[in-house]
Amino acid sequence: EAQVTQNPRYLITVTGKKLTVTCSQNMNHEYMSWYRQDPGLGLRQIYYSMNVEVTDKGDVPEGYKVSRKEKRNFPLILESPSPNQTSLYFCASSLVGSYEQYFGPGTRLTVT
Amino acid sequence: AQSVTQLDSQVPVFEEAPVELRCNYSSSVSVYLFWYVQYPNQGLQLLLKYLSGSTLVKGINGFEAEFNKSQTSFHLRKPSVHISDTAEYFCAAAYSSASKIIFGSGTRLSIRP
């Protein structure tokens, strides 16, 4: 089954404790992206990647890092999480040029 | 700057009534438009898309949208809604000059029996 998976689905952590949210897709998509969803703000793009070893900032990259060492994986790293990063995070993937994105189920992160 | 505006944050409607969710995008020579639906506690699912060709686009679950270039709009419509359509709907635009999709702030559709 074609899908985008994210882990963990729920995470509660404390300020400053490094964490990684994993994202994996099995559709051989070149393009992958991370979004955060906050009430009233819709989805805002954090980082995206056009292919392996190619990443770029989205609209809200501060406080986040990503890497793309393999085509199928695109982890999101929070080196020092802060409470304002409490949000619902989505990973998505697509073929380059198609713009039709497939979304993961989301990761709800709470930073206290 | 490129942007997508959803004019209504919430739309209440009675079951079996028609509904229109409004979306406007910033103009560009080349733009692709999408509507996504998010059911409670789920990820986003593509409803329909406009890439080129016919301006009336039909999607899943009886939804359709019309691309209007002169008004830079891409409104979503359904002639008769069902309780199961209760969800949040997001309009999105992809500009060929950029390698990303821009989402609107979402419209929460609530269906009253």
Interface test with A, best of B99, B103, B105, B107 (most A CBs within 10 A): B99
pLDDT for position B98: 57
pLDDT value, residue B40: 87
Q: A106 contacts in B (CB within 8 Å)?
A: 42-43
Chain B: give the shortest CA distance to residue A65, in Å: 18
- For position A64, what pLDDT does the model report? 98
Chain A closest-CA separation from residue B91 CA (Å) = 10
* Cα angle: A109, vertex A111, B10; to 5 degrees: 55
Give the C-alpha separation, A6 to A61, whole Å: 19
Question: Could you give the percent of chain B with pLDDT greater than 90?
Answer: 74
Quote the Cα angle for B7-B112-B66, to 5°: 40
Nearest partner of A88 among B78, B41, B64, B52, judged by Cα: B41
Q: d(Cα B33, Cα B101) in Å, to the nearest integer?
A: 9
Higher pLDDT, B100 or A38: A38
Q: Is the pLDDT of residue A97 over 90?
A: no
User: Over chain B, what is the mean pLDDT?
Assistant: 91
Q: Is the pLDDT of residue A67 over 60?
A: yes
In chain B, residues with a C-beta closer than 8 Å to the C-beta of A101 are 44, 46, 101
d(CA B68, CA A51): 33
Listed residue (A93, A92, A95, A75) closest to A37, CA to CA: A92
**pLDDT for position B80:** 97
* pLDDT digit string, tens, across residues B12-56: 999 999 999 999 998 777 889 999 999 988 889 999 999 888 899
Residue B97: pLDDT over 60: no
Question: Is residue B94 classed as helix, strand or coil in its secondary structure?
Answer: strand
What pLDDT, on a 0 to 100 scale, did the predictor assign at position B60?
A: 93
Is the CB of A31 less than 8 angstroms away from the CB of B104? no
Per the CB < 8 Å rule, is B43 touching A58? no
Is the CB of B89 inside 8 Å of chain A's CB atoms?
Answer: no
- Give yes or no for residue A107 having a pLDDT over 60: yes
Q: What pairs with residue B38 in β-bridges? A: B44, B88
As a whole number, the mean pLDDT across chain A is 94
**CA gap A104, A75 in Å, rounded:** 13
CA gap A25, A80 in Å, rounded: 26
**Among B43, B99, B104, beta carbon nearest to A104:** B43
Length of chain A as a residue count: 112
Q: How far apart are CA B66 and CA B96, in angstroms?
A: 20
Q: Which residues in chain B are closer than 8 Å to A9, comparing Cβ atoms? A: none
Least confident piece of the model among A83-87, B2-6, B19-23, B87-91? B2-6
